[in-house]
Structure 1
Amino acid sequence: MSENVTVPRFNVHTTDWTPLPELGGHEAILYKSEDGRRLAGSFRESGRHTMKMPFDEFIYVVAGSTRITVEGEDPFDLGVGDCCYLKEGMEVTFEHSEDFHDVTVLISDQPIEY
């Protein structure tokens, strides 16, 4: 991301990546609001992870696939071009393919601890 622009931007395929070992991958943060309540970025993740959503999350799949299971609901699959919106407080299990890659926006009433 260029620091000298009004509109933050990068290419998700060529940007610099930071290791994200706890989720089996890497991250590239495009934008984080001054109050810390909004974050946009791209994530390469793999494996199975369960979490209680600490924020709302919009997910758009760029590569690979994921199976998402929200507690009490039937699982669903997302592939390239698919998107979903998960709400804060949901208990969610993600099962990402080895090549899973998404563009994500996180939104919260509180600063996002990330």
Structure 2
Amino acid sequence: MSDSNLAPHFNVHTTNFEPLPEFGGSKAILYHSPDGTRLAGSFRESGTHQFVMPFDEFIYVVAGGVKITITDGESFYLGVGDTCYLKQGQDVLFEMTDDFHDVTVLISDKRIDV
């Protein structure tokens, strides 16, 4: 990541990632707002995970893919170049490929910890 506070930036393919074992992968945080309610980063994840969204999440897929199923709603697949916006409170099932990699922005009215 750059040392710039004005416009943080990094390359999602070459930046340093930290372990994220609860999602079978790793994370690189680009920006976390001072109040903790906004977060931007890149995530390498795998496996199947279901939870009620604790925040809004914008997803842009960099590699691999993910099947997303919203309980009592639709199901769709995101591959490289696809995006979606998930809303806080939705019950979502994620089925990620082993090479899933995304860039995401998380937005909440409470502190976000990942």
Moved >4 Å (runs of 4+): none
Cα RMSD of the aligned pairs, angstroms, is 0.9
Structure 2-normalised TM-score?
Answer: 0.97
Runs (5+) with no aligned partner, structure 1: none
Amino acid at match of 1:69: T
Residues 40-49 or 3-12, more deviating = 3-12
Deviations 1:46-70 (A, max 9, x none): 0000011000000000000000000
Deviations 1:8-35 (A, max 9, x none): 0000000000000000000000000000
2-structure distance, mates of 1:2, 1:76: 35
Structure 1-normalised TM-score?
Answer: 0.97
Name the SS of the counterpart of 1:22 in structure 2.
helix
Sequence identity percentage: 64
1-structure distance, mates of 2:81, 2:110: 29
Aligned to 1:16: 16
Runs (5+) with no aligned partner, structure 2: none
1-structure distance, mates of 2:75, 2:4: 43
Aligned to 2:30: 30
Amino acid at match of 1:96: M
Normalized per residue, the structure richer in strand is 2
Amino acid at match of 1:85: Y
